[in-house]
Amino acid sequence: MHNHSHDQHRHHDEAHTHSYQAPLQRKFKFAVLVTFCVFLGELIGGIWSGSLALLSDAAHVMSDVVSLLISWLAIYLSTRPATSSRTYGYHRAEVFAAFVNGVSLIAISGWIFYAAYQRYMSPTEIKVTGMFIVACLGFVGNLLILWKLHGESHGNLNVRSAVLHVIGDTLSSVAVVVGGVIIFWIGWYPIDAILSFLIGGIILFSAVNVTKEAVHILLENSPKNADAHTIAEHLRNLEPVRDVHDLHIWSLCSNYPALSAHVVIDENTTLAPDGILKQINGELQAHFGINHTTLQLEQVACEQAGNLFCNAQHS
């Protein structure tokens, strides 16, 4: 007997998700507009003042604009219904957007490290007043965006990757402001290059974490809270279950885990198949947060029995 489960909790979650996406898209529209204004201000201010730290931050902010646009598009696509050729809909767009954002940040941090080294070896005079004013305006703009997106990144890798862009840029703005103060008071121009290294490090750290998590999902690895051996052992301890095999666990996106398995049931059980499936799905939801399941009940184990995972070879 096969069973494909989207329980009522999942339907409720999806309805809630669709009602949640519209205001989130509006917040991203606001974030894109403000971020683009910050980029223009820092680009012009960096060229005028001669501050590499400000230009580095402008490059980061430009990546923020692209990042937010990609994330915005991914949020829109995730609301699209499933089709005959895309049976899961566009949920993976979120993870792909996070991956693109992460890789772009890694590339930008590399450019910043190179430019900072060149500037450190050959410091140049900087118009500190312009550097300071523009950095302060950028800081205020990023605080506005963080305020708008506050609390939206929980459980959504795509939104979290975009928020990390903005957090990194906010810290970068703080670093540029501090650099402006130091140059103003003691005239130590190498601080501009040193702060650029710091900005690049902040960007690289967040980018690597987001990229690793996106790759983890794209490779269809098990969710971190749903180890296959742990789940199989938990199900085997249920009264009507004799064995579990051909088990697969993966994530469609950062908050959508899925599972399929063959479950061998005790031929002497008095429970009806529907009751067994309800019990198993309840356990998977309560203990592992898995709502999307495809289960095959067997009283006589199939040829895959004895193998927890599928051993089919790619040819």
Asked whether the CA dihedral 120, 124, 125, 130 is positive or negative, the reply is negative
In the chain the beta strands, taken as DSSP E runs, fall at 2-6, 241-251, 257-265, 292-298
Report the run of H or E that residue 116 belongs to, with start and end: helix 92-121
CB 123 within 8 A of CB 192: yes
User: Stretch 240-264: mean pLDDT, rounded?
Assistant: 85
pLDDT digits over 260-301, tens only? 999 988 888 888 888 889 999 999 988 888 888 989 888 776
CB 158 within 8 A of CB 97: yes
Q: Can you give the pLDDT at residue 1?
A: 55
Q: Can you give the pLDDT at residue 15?
A: 44
- CATH code matching the domain that covers 19-218, chosen among 2.60.120.260, 3.40.50.720, 1.20.1510.10, 1.10.3720.10: 1.20.1510.10
Listed range (37-41, 146-150, 307-311) with the worst mean pLDDT: 307-311
Percent of the chain with pLDDT over 70: 83
Quick check: 234 pLDDT over 80? Answer: yes
Q: Can you give the pLDDT at residue 27?
A: 77
- Which residue in this structure is represented by tokens 């495809």? 294
* pLDDT top residue among 149 and 220: 220
* pLDDT top residue among 308 and 244: 244
Listed range (46-60, 197-211, 270-284) with the worst mean pLDDT: 46-60
Sorted by where each begins, the domain ranges of the chain are 19-218, 228-298
Quick check: 202 pLDDT over 70? Answer: yes
Listed range (115-129, 201-215, 281-295, 298-312) with the worst mean pLDDT: 298-312
User: Stretch 214-243: mean pLDDT, rounded?
Assistant: 86
CB 142 within 8 A of CB 38: yes
Q: Can you give the pLDDT at residue 280?
A: 92
Q: How far apart are CA 29 and CA 7, in angstroms?
A: 33
User: Class of the 228-298 domain?
Assistant: alpha beta
Listed range (152-166, 204-218, 222-236) with the worst mean pLDDT: 152-166
Quick check: 14 pLDDT over 70? Answer: no
Quick one: pLDDT band at residue 17, thresholds 50, 70, 90?
Answer: very low
Beta bridge partner(s), residue 261 = 295
Q: Can you give the pLDDT at residue 7?
A: 46
Report the run of H or E that residue 33 belongs to, with start and end: helix 8-49
Quick check: 224 pLDDT over 70? Answer: yes
Quick one: pLDDT band at residue 22, thresholds 50, 70, 90?
Answer: low
Quick check: 198 pLDDT over 80? Answer: yes
CB 111 within 8 A of CB 14: no
Residue-averaged pLDDT of the chain: 78
Q: How far apart are CA 63 and CA 166, in angstroms?
A: 10
Quick one: pLDDT band at residue 186, thresholds 50, 70, 90?
Answer: confident
DSSP state of 251: E
